Structure 1
Amino acid sequence: MNPLLDRLQSYPFEKLRKLFSGVRPNPAFTPINFGIGEPRHPAPDFIRQALADNPAGLSRYPATLGTIALREAIANWLARRYGIPAPDPAKQILPTLGSREALFALAQTVLDPAGHGIVVCPNPFYQIYEGAALLGGAEPYFINASPEMNFACDYDSVPQEIWAKTKLLYTCSPANPTGAVMTLPQWKKLFELSDRYGFVIASDECYSEIHFGTPPLGGLEAAHQLGREGYPRLIMLSSLSKRSNVPGMRSGFVAGDETLIGKFLLYRTYHGTAMSETVQAASVAAWNDERHVEENRAKYIGKFREALPVLRQVLNVAMPDAGFYLWAEVHEKTGLSDTEFARGLYESHHVTVLPGSYLAREAQGENPGKNRVRIALVAEPEECREGMARIAEFARQHS
């Protein structure tokens, strides 16, 4: 067996199952799950119809490169969304099976398994970053997201000897779980570090379309504004899962540096990760339509407007820059740790939230997720309303 597998930690939801082991939730309540970031708004009818209208794709092996129609639809969406010249569909865009598998596979393309390099990650973080680093033969280095800096990563705190060994850096904007959005000066700093030390930047932007008025700045957009033609050493990743409420389609893309895209295409040709042409046809329809995205966004805005006044009475919680998570500090007002809060809430009110410490690692002497919980506002508004009331009632019992 690959010995690197032994270095992988349990996934957060496996830890959650263990935390809840032996607990019998209060039968007076129906279950409400805010623990997993899975969009639960209905998939748009026109996307369902596009899948039904293109059955022929099920009878053919799809090409790894994808159809030109899909790559052009993605290029045109990028141009509209970010105000950049449309990337070259032939060289700068590659369809992927969502963003998760691409985040993992990109590391296997970029990292030299014999090089013992470093992969820099935000902390807290999406655990795929860590697993991709470890299975690529590299060491993860975590930079704590500081609430004093609006949960930004302090890249100036990283020692030069770490940067000298860095081969890949993951960034997530809007961030999971904090919702923080990177600014242009922060991007400029990252690009300068990438130029100096030669590492690749993987920009995870899967939450970019869940915002509250100001569209988050993207990596390609920042590079364009700073005059970085060709997006050197930059790959952005996105998907339809959150934007269009179709996580089961597994439809996403990578875009950016054409040299990296070319190497990634070679890797994926062997990896066998080609998207069904039926799904590609539905994806074209999704990327070409913004009305359903605006309706989806309005739904999230409404849920945040209702949730925050309720939770602010009992927890330390703030409106995120973007995304669909609340990153709530629970200890100060309830005296409970994040795990105690999650277990107690599940037992007494049958509501699931995710302990923040499960989404982070101890780095520089602290776990930045400690005493926080992640609340995913993914359910329909009525269920979210009921869940917020239950969380508030539980918190009051421990205030």
Structure 2
Amino acid sequence: GLFFAALAAQERSGPAGPGGAAAAMLMPNPCYHVYPGAAAAAGAEPILVPATAASGHLPDYTALPEEVLARTTLAYYCSPANPQGAAADLPALAALIALARKYGFTVAFDECYAEIYNDAPPPGALQAAAATGGGLDNVVVFHSLSKRSSAPGLRCGFAVGDPARIAELEVMLRTGGAGVPFPTLAAGTRLWDDDAHAAANRARYRENFAMAARVLGNRFGFRIPDGGFFLWLDVGDGEAAARTLWCEAGIKVMPGAYMGRSGPTGDNPGERYIRIALVYDAPLIEAALNRLVEVL
């Protein structure tokens, strides 16, 4: 769905900008790999906006130049964020929706981690849309069973939002996507109808983060994120640390640079980091983190 959102947005808008300038699609840097891939497939220019500690690990699209916003067809916004786990507040979501309506672009809100949170549920785009008025105009929200229910293999989720944009997305999926098989839909329905296992997953992740806090302390800029199940650790050189951890400790992690891209100055905002998924049983994670502390 997130991939086809780019194709649908481009079909809606066509070439945009003065003199036929390339359409722009906004996305955080670092981000989920599908976003830049979708922009490339749509023939749009990916505009990667830093999502660093300085910005609260979320992108600020409102600060972009008029020239960029005028040719924007789609903005991706992930909250809680992958990989950092930061969640936007309601005013930030409302400001982005207002920006989209001013310039006429679609916001694809990636809320696939929305039901994995530490304390309180994060605000959602539908709440923000209701608070700002204007119905669901320009808003499409995506959810998935992959994270909520630990069922990535099902490839089952849903999109909700602006009826016109949902209809355009449906056309794209019917003509270029793969339909979800009926057995998968049946299994997915059972999972969506059951909130108990999602609550159990949240409790398990809370325990894993509490254990990580005991092992890591204040090392590597450790913090418990607002949502999601990743550690985003500042190790100085993420790729070098990933090699060291694999060779010396038998631990596989994601170098943060692989989720980011170099900006105009050559800096990749993910370069210093590694991403670690706390998705295993607590004893295994605890042993791995203790080995990490020993070798880094």
Normalising by structure 1, report the TM-score: 0.70
Shift of 1:313: 4.9
Matched, 1:255 2:160: yes
> Which of these residues, 85, 89, 95, is aligned with residue 179 of structure 1?
85
In structure 2, what is the Cα distance between the partners aligned to 1:309 and 1:368?
Answer: 27
In structure 1, what is the Cα distance between the partners aligned to 2:217 and 2:269?
Answer: 21
Instruction: Note the residue ranges of structure 1 that are not aligned, 5 or more in a row.
Output: 1-101, 332-336
In structure 2, what is the Cα distance between the partners aligned to 1:377 and 1:313?
Answer: 18
* Residue deviations 1:122-152 (CA, integer Å, cap 9, x gap): 1110111001001101000011013123212
Aligned residue for 1:320?
A: 225
Instruction: Give the letter for the 1:394 counterpart.
Output: V
Aligned residue for 2:238?
A: 338
Aligned residue for 1:164?
A: 70
Matched, 1:145 2:51: yes
Matched, 1:350 2:222: no
SS across alignment from 1:241: helix
In structure 1, what is the Cα distance between the partners aligned to 2:160 and 2:277?
Answer: 28
Aligned residue for 2:286?
A: 385
Aligned residue for 2:6?
A: 107
Shift of 1:307: 0.7
Distance 1:227 1:141, change over 3 A: same
> Which of these residues, 114, 118, 132, is aligned with residue 226 of structure 1?
132
Aligned residue for 1:236?
A: 141
In structure 1, what is the Cα distance between the partners aligned to 2:123 and 2:276?
Answer: 24
Identity %: 37
Aligned residue for 1:7?
A: none
Shift of 1:378: 1.2
Give the conservation status (yes or no) of the 8 Å contact 1:114–1:137: no
> Which of these residues, 110, 131, 148, is aligned with residue 37 of structure 2?
131
Shift of 1:393: 0.9
SS across alignment from 2:50: strand
Instruction: Give the letter for the 1:345 counterpart.
Output: L
Aligned residue runs from structure 1 range 1-399, under 5 A: 102-112=1-11, 114-115=15-16, 116-229=22-135, 231-331=136-236, 337-365=237-265, 366-395=267-296
SS across alignment from 1:235: strand
* Residue deviations 1:248-268 (CA, integer Å, cap 9, x gap): 111101110111111122222
Instruction: Give the letter for the 2:234 counterpart.
Output: E
In structure 2, what is the Cα distance between the partners aligned to 1:326 and 1:286?
Answer: 26
SS across alignment from 1:352: coil
Structure with higher Rg: it is: 1
SS across alignment from 1:318: coil
Shift of 1:181: 0.5
In structure 2, what is the Cα distance between the partners aligned to 1:123 and 1:196?
Answer: 24
Instruction: Give the letter for the 2:175 counterpart.
Output: Y
Aligned length: 288
Give the conservation status (yes or no) of the 8 Å contact 2:212–2:286: yes
User: Which region of structure 1 is more displaced relative to structure 2, 185-194 or 199-208?
Assistant: 185-194
Give the conservation status (yes or no) of the 8 Å contact 2:62–2:99: no
* Residue deviations 1:98-121 (CA, integer Å, cap 9, x gap): xxxx11111111114655200000
Shift of 1:155: 2.5
Give the conservation status (yes or no) of the 8 Å contact 2:74–2:107: yes
SS across alignment from 2:140: strand
Aligned residue for 1:49?
A: none
Shift of 1:315: 2.1
Instruction: Give the letter for the 2:210 counterpart.
Output: R
Shift of 1:222: 1.4
In structure 1, what is the Cα distance between the partners aligned to 2:199 and 2:127?
Answer: 21
Shift of 1:226: 2.3
In structure 1, what is the Cα distance between the partners aligned to 2:219 and 2:125?
Answer: 36
Distance 1:340 1:326, change over 3 A: same
Instruction: Note the residue ranges of structure 2 that are not aligned, 5 or more in a row.
Output: 17-21
In structure 2, what is the Cα distance between the partners aligned to 1:267 and 1:342?
Answer: 38
SS across alignment from 1:375: strand
Shift of 1:219: 1.0
Shift of 1:191: 1.4
